[in-house]
Amino acid sequence: MTILNLADQSPFTTKDGSTIRSILDRTNAPVQNQSLAEARVPAGAATQRHYHRLAEEFYFILEGRGQMEIDGESRSVGSGDAILIPPGAWHTIRADAAQPLRFLCCCAPPYAHDDTFFE
């Protein structure tokens, strides 16, 4: 049985500029097909627009409000929203100026720096 606590995970910065803490992934558990992380974007900041060739992602907004852009379509997002990001879709998320965004990010296959591509 594998049980890990978010508070015990060290944060790091991904290639897109968000700060994440891996909750379960290949680096800390016997994970095969997915990863789960908590991501944070500071108030007024955004991730660098990018895509993943292999990974399908889900974002689940825990706190804050912002703008999600996927392949040129933008929508407001906030606490309780779940977002599907298909493989190959260009995307970025921006936190509103008033508060940071905190969300869960699930990737299948697991997140990898070498599966992150920029313009």
For residue range 49-95, what is the model confidence (pLDDT) as tens digits?
999 999 999 999 999 999 999 999 999 999 999 999 999 999 999 99
HSE value, Cβ hemisphere, 13 Å, CA-based, for 27: 14
What is the pTM assigned to this prediction?
0.94
Rounded distance between C-alpha atoms, residue 61 and residue 73, angstroms: 18
CATH at 67:
2.60.120.10
Residue 7 lies in a domain: no
Residue 19 lies in a domain: yes
Residue 2 lies in a domain: no
Check if the beta carbon of residue 75 is closer than 8 Å to that of residue 67.
yes
Residue 107 lies in a domain: no
What domain range includes position 59?
15-100+113-118
For the record, the structure tokens of 57 come out as 């992602």
Q: How many domains does the chain have?
A: 1
Residue 106 lies in a domain: no
User: Can you say how many angstroms the Cα of residue 14 is from the centroid of all Cα atoms in its chain?
Assistant: 9
Residue 33 lies in a domain: yes
